[in-house]
Structures are given as C-alpha cells and as structure tokens.
Structure 1
Amino acid sequence: MDQDLDDFFTDASHLVDEAGKPIASSAPPLPPKSRREMRRRRVSVHRKRLTTALIVLVILALLGGGGWFVAQKVSGMSSIVSATKSVAEDYPGPGGSEVDFTVETGQSADKIAENLVKADIVKSAAAFTQAVAVAGVQNQLFPGVFELKLHMQASDVVTILTDSSKAGGFLEVRSGDKAADVITKAATLSSIKKSDFDAIIKDKGSGILPSEAGGNFEGWFEPGSYNVKGKSSAKEILKELVDQRIAKLDAMNVPTGSERERILNIASIAEAEVNQEEYYSKVTRVIENRLAKGMTLGMDTTVAYGANVSASDLTNAQLSDKSNPYNTRVHTGLPPTPISNPGDNAIKAAMSPASGNWLYFVTVNLDTGETKFTADSSEFDGYVKEYKQWEADNS
C-alpha cells in the first residue's frame, strides 16, 4: 500500500487537467479513477525509462564504433604515409662516378634492385622496383653490362636498363648464326685475343665438344645471351655455349650420338633455306625424300657456306665446284657438318618432318618468304620462273 502511494504521487507530477494542460505543482493532484489506472501509468513510466536507456546505449555504441572506425582510418593513413615515405627513398640524381653494372640473363627486377643497392647506384631496392612498376617494364630489363653512375635516380636507371643499345659485353647468339661469326663477336666483346679462340678451334674443341661433333663447333652453339665480358678465357666462353646447347638438346629429347649430329645438320639447312617457321618441317621432308632416293640435295645455302659467300652471290663456277665438300649440287648426302646454329623450331622439324612426297621447293617471294613445294619437276621449273620474275620486278 505504501509503495502504491509513492508511485501515485510520483506519477501525479505528470498529470494534466481535463483541458490537457499540466497541473501546477502547487495544486493538489486529482486522484486516479482506480488502482488499475495507477498500475497502467506505472508500467508506462517504466517502459519510457527502458526505451530511453536503450536509445542511450545505442548512441554510445555508435559513437564507440565510429571512433574505432576513425581510429582505424587514421592508423591506415599513417601506415600508407609511412610506406610511401619508405618507397620514396631515392637519390635525386643525376649521379657521380661512372661504374659498370651487369644484368645477368634471366635476373628478376628484385634481384637487379638488390645488386643496384649493393653497388650504391640506387638508394633503395623499393625505389627501383617502384620505378619499374610505374614504367610497366617488368619484362623488358635487358641483360648486359651497362655504364651507370653512383647515386642515380631510380627512374633514370630503369630508362638505361630497358635500352638494348646501352647493353654491352653480352654476346647474342641467334638462330642461324654461323660459328665463325659468333666466335669473332665473342672475341671482340670479351677483349680476349682472337688467337686464343683459333687455338681451340685448331685443337678441335678438345675438352669442350662432344665426340659426335667431330671436332667442329658448327651447330653446337645454343642461341641466347651470354655475358662474355665477365669470362676469363676463350675456353670458358666456348664451353658455356656448347654446354648450353647440349643441355637444350637433352631437354628436347634429341637422340644422342651420330643421330644428334645428323639432326643438327638437317635443321641447319632448313634454318638457312627458309625464313618462315611454317616451312621448316616441309623442307626437312624434302631433304629426307631426296636422301632416300639417292638424289643430290641441290641446296645453294650449303654451296655458299663452303665457298664462304652469300647464296645470292654464288657464281656458276662455284655452283659446279667439286672441290667444295659442301656443294650438295654435285655431292650426294648431307654436307660434312651443319652450316649454322639452328634454333629450336628447326630442330623439332628435323626430328619430325611433315608428311609429303615433295622433292623440290622454291621461295618465290623474298619479301614475304612465300615458298612453294612440289614433287613434279616441271612444276618446279614454273616456280623457278615465278621467282625470277619477282627478282626482275624487285631489282
């Protein structure tokens, strides 16, 4: 009963008169109509208090969450600023003393960056890798020996390392290159005396060439880039070229022994005769078909190799010269050795010639490389006339 009276007077402070106006605090409150009405009012007051408390809690939670979110953002921005400051550690350039810097074949941008920092060319690895990413040249950093400077700006270094004309000291062996030309370039780039290379050739590549090469380097240099400036001897350079070739042939499952030399020989002719990959397997089929029939190969490129001239400069006397062991117009069978260093595609074609009965082929357009194949000699004569007409029109 006492609790009911307390509640009654508490509730009464919120009462209004019949006109809806608050009752002045000095006026005595009107009694409730019933105990039921008093309980209803008491429940209503409790409900309002509970609702108010819940609203306050929600607001506090939102404020707390917002504060956490803002704190996280601020922390994140701080990290970004810190990271940016770290990446930006770079020399202003243009640099001081000149230094030689070597990029090895296959080196990643991260490894190059590490070496640049060690050489004190760039201030941080991050500065270089960022400059590479910004320039979008991750796969365009050339191998070679480059002339750089101490304390360079990273972006300037990237500009130089992506310019192949600035790369020195690296020997580029291309598919179809002749061994003699490769050796001459190797001597020039390495500053090792040419006579040192000649002595190894005279000694038939002892300790370098496999037995099936027959003491001849032709065909046994693997195409690629080689840092010859960093080598100490002619033997070291030639051994690397040959070792890389052997490793590649093994990886391609090229048969060993005399069959390996035979494949290199056929592949080298295909590489020299046509300049379109699509024709390699047809040329190797022509070679196999002519060998099977006991015919001469009749390849001008082999004659030119033996005469040490370009195929386009051959004379009638040279074409009929029996003293030239590479003259496949007069001698049957394959030439004594390959006539160049063939690439992977020509080697694959020699291992798996196309199916066909072709015995002849003529490149009728030297600009496009269009080559026609036939098993008919009269049709072959027609192709020869087509080529001569193209030659007359383009002389």
Structure 2
Amino acid sequence: MSDNIHDFFDENTHWVEQGTGSLEGGGTPPKPPKSRREMRKRRKQRKQKRFGVIIAVIVTIAVIVGGGYLAVSKLHDIRDSQSQANAAVEDYPGPGYGEVTFTVSEGQGAMEIAKSLLKAEVIKSTDAFTSLVSANDSKLYPGTFTLKKHMAASDVLTILTDSSKAAGFLEVRPGERVSAVITDAATLSGIAQSDFEAIINNKGDGILPAEANGSFEGWLEPGTYNVKGMNSASDILKDMVDKRVAKLDDLGVPSGADRERVMIIASIAEAEVNKADYYGKVTRVIENRLAQGMSLGMDSTVAYGNNVQPADVTTAMLQDESNPYNTYKIAGLPPTPISNPGDNAIQAAMNPESGDWLYFCTVNLDTGETKFATTAEEHDKNVAELRQWQAENQQ
C-alpha cells in the first residue's frame, strides 16, 4: 500500500511528459518509475516546473506593466518639455501699440537686453528674442530706440540692429576726420559745437598726450560712444582720446615721436585705399619714397589741407605750396595725421609689406582695385587704366 493518496495515484498512473505526444498519437510512453523514490523525485520536479512557469508569467506581467508605466511617464515628460519649450518661445504677433523709449548701453549682451525688453513689455519672452539674435549672428547697437509694447521679436531685432535708428550714441568710424566727428557729437549730445571747437582750438590741454602736438586728428578712437549721457564736450573728447591711447598701448605702438609718425602714415593709408589688404603695400610705398627722398605726392593729404574730399582736389590745389599738407610740393610726412585710422591701418604702418614699390593707383573706383608699380612707366600704364575706367563709368 502506498504511503499516502498521492503515492497511490503516482503508482497507478501512466504519465505522459509534455511535448511527447499521447499514446494514441503513436508516441512512446515514458518508462514507469522503478521505485517510490524516483516517483517522489519526479513529482518534485513537476512541482518545481509548474512553480517556475508561474514565476515566469508573473515576471513577464510585471515587465509589461512596468514598461508601460515608464513609457507613459516618458510621454508625459516629453509633452511637458514641449509645453515648456513652446511657452519659452512665445512671441507677440505685432505690430504692437503705444511708444517705448528703450536704451541699449555699450557692452550689453543679448540676454541682458532681452530681459530689459521683457520688463518693458516690448517682447513676450526672452527666448523669442535671443534665439533670433543667435540664429542671425546679429550685432545689437547701443543707443536709444523708439519701440512699442507687444512687438514681434523679429521687428524689435530689425530696429536694434540698425545703427541709424539709434539716438544719442555716436559712432566714430575709421578714416573719419575730427571735423566730422565733432559735428555729429554736437548734434547727438545737444552740446554746442562751439564747445568742442574751443577745446580743439586750445590744443586739447589736459586731454591730448604730448606726442599729439596739440592736434586731435588721428587721436579719436573709432567706436561707439554714449554722448547723450555725458555732461560736456570735454568729457566726450577725453573719453575718445583715452580709448585711443589704451588701444595704441594694446597694439604695441611705440611711444613718443614714433607713435605720432605711425599715426600719420596709418591715416594716409586709411584715406588712400578702401581695402585693408592694400594697407601694407601703401605703407611700404610711403617708407620707400621717404627713404629715397621723394615727395609722397598723396591726393589725400592735399585734400585734407583744403578740407575737401580727395575726388575734389583741383590742379590749383596741387600747385599750392602754402598748404603744409601738400605732399606734392613739400617733402616728408605731413605735420599731423589726416584722419582717425583703424587698427588694420595702424598695424600696417608698424609692419609694412616687403616690396620695392614706389607708386600705386586705384584703377577701379567702384571695387577699389589698386595696382602697385616699381617704375614710373608701369605707373603711367595704371593711371591710363584709371582714366579709361573714368571715361567709361563717370559722366
């Protein structure tokens, strides 16, 4: 007799293993167990197998449920991040209403400007503005601009990148003369032009360095200045001169008389050609002519002495020996710079290109193409090319 009811059934039952087929289907029946111990072993294995299947099913369900939860959570995260992104780039459709006087200060970055625009209710979000600045690599000019409330960010950017729409800020450009600078400074600042002229006529006492020899020409640093926010003509001029001196120090320009010489040569190069690629050759021509005792023969210096543009120089002006800037008649460099040269021209004056050129001529006044020559004959051919261009392109 079996030990218990399970042993009884195990002893009297023919088991068919899963996957082997039934007896009726032609499968081979399993061999009967040889002992009770083997029967108990088989029963234990079947229980373990059933338990393993149950565990596998539970694990599978858990994975499916957990994966679904993670997927749903991820979708929620994506939806939330998209909502935040959409909110960050919210923009007004424009054109806006009312009037807002908005000032961009020198040195302010796009984000700082965007925050001020948002505070003034000009734009709807900072990202709407900064993303456009970044995408277009835009230059934002300092100045005071007239804007509206609830403007489209693109419309705001159009205005802030247009220096002509800025009020109160003076832009000093490379190649400009002092006379033009002080006229603009007076207009933008509201300070009388006579105040500027009085300082200039007084030779910049207390403002100019000694090597300037009392002349502001060449000693005003190109850049943007908030003249509206300054109290006097003296403050404005001093700011420009101080920045010029600091820039010359940074560029390593020699001090004293050598500094003034560099400025004179650089100013001529700046005035004679309109491409930085030519500055080094022009300064070499100047040095070669000086070394050979030749007159410089520069129209730009004659024009400066007559307060006209080079294109307006007349034959009478070229013959006028009373003009100290007439480098056709007077050997050597002119007494002062003839404009405010930029960095490229200054560096070219310190480091002229190597060459034996003695002449140069701009043969195309539209493109600025300039040709350099070592002999008078070669130079004459270049001048003839210029005359032909003038005949074909100028009335």
Q: Which amino acid aligns with 1:356?
A: G
- Secondary structure, aligned partner of 1:339: coil
Report the RMSD for the aligned CA atoms in angstroms: 3.0
1:128-175 CA-partner distances (Å, limit 9, x unpaired): 335546xx2353333332101244454443343234443333222221
The answer to whether 1:373 aligns with 2:395 is: no
Question: Structure 1 residues 150, 270: closer, same or farther in 2, change over 3 A?
Answer: same
The answer to whether 1:34 aligns with 2:56 is: no
Partner of 2:234: 235
Partner of 1:251: 250
Question: Structure 1 residues 11, 260: closer, same or farther in 2, change over 3 A?
Answer: farther
Partner of 1:215: 214
- Secondary structure, aligned partner of 1:366: coil
Question: Structure 1 residues 2, 212: closer, same or farther in 2, change over 3 A?
Answer: farther
Residues of 2 paired with 1:113 and 1:154: CA distance? 10
Partner of 1:191: 190
Question: Structure 1 residues 89, 361: closer, same or farther in 2, change over 3 A?
Answer: closer
Partner of 1:300: 299
Partner of 1:28: none
Residues of 1 paired with 2:131 and 2:294: CA distance? 62
Partner of 1:101: 102
The answer to whether 1:270 aligns with 2:269 is: yes
Superposed counterparts of 1:276-315, under 5 Å = 276-315=275-314
After TM superposition, the runs of 4+ consecutive aligned structure 1 residues lying more than 6 A away are 1-4, 10-14
Which is further off, 300-309 or 56-65?
Answer: 56-65
Distance apart, 1:178 and its partner CA: 1.0
The answer to whether 1:63 aligns with 2:59 is: no
Question: Structure 1 residues 138, 114: closer, same or farther in 2, change over 3 A?
Answer: farther
Count the aligned residue pairs: 384
Residues of 1 paired with 2:150 and 2:379: CA distance? 65
Question: Structure 1 residues 231, 95: closer, same or farther in 2, change over 3 A?
Answer: farther
Is the CA contact 1:186–1:228 (under 8 Å) kept in the aligned structure 2?
yes
1:27-71 CA-partner distances (Å, limit 9, x unpaired): xxxxx6532652453144134223213313421431353144135
The answer to whether 1:328 aligns with 2:327 is: yes
Residues of 2 paired with 1:324 and 1:271: CA distance? 21
Structure 1 unaligned blocks of 5 or more: 21-31
Is the CA contact 1:7–1:42 (under 8 Å) kept in the aligned structure 2?
no
- Secondary structure, aligned partner of 2:136: coil
Residues of 1 paired with 2:51 and 2:109: CA distance? 66
Q: Which amino acid aligns with 1:45?
A: R
Structure 2 unaligned blocks of 5 or more: 17-21, 26-31
The answer to whether 1:114 aligns with 2:115 is: yes
Residues of 1 paired with 2:179 and 2:226: CA distance? 18
Residues of 1 paired with 2:132 and 2:296: CA distance? 55
Q: Which amino acid aligns with 1:6?
A: H
Partner of 2:19: none
Question: Structure 1 residues 88, 67: closer, same or farther in 2, change over 3 A?
Answer: same
Distance apart, 1:303 and its partner CA: 0.7
Is the CA contact 1:175–1:342 (under 8 Å) kept in the aligned structure 2?
yes
TM-score by length of 2: 0.86
TM-score by length of 1: 0.86
Distance apart, 1:100 and its partner CA: 1.5
- Secondary structure, aligned partner of 1:98: strand
Residues of 1 paired with 2:213 and 2:2: CA distance? 123
Distance apart, 1:189 and its partner CA: 1.8
Which is further off, 377-386 or 264-273?
Answer: 377-386
Which is further off, 94-103 or 5-14?
Answer: 5-14
Which is further off, 106-115 or 357-366?
Answer: 357-366
Partner of 1:145: 144
Is the CA contact 1:87–1:130 (under 8 Å) kept in the aligned structure 2?
no
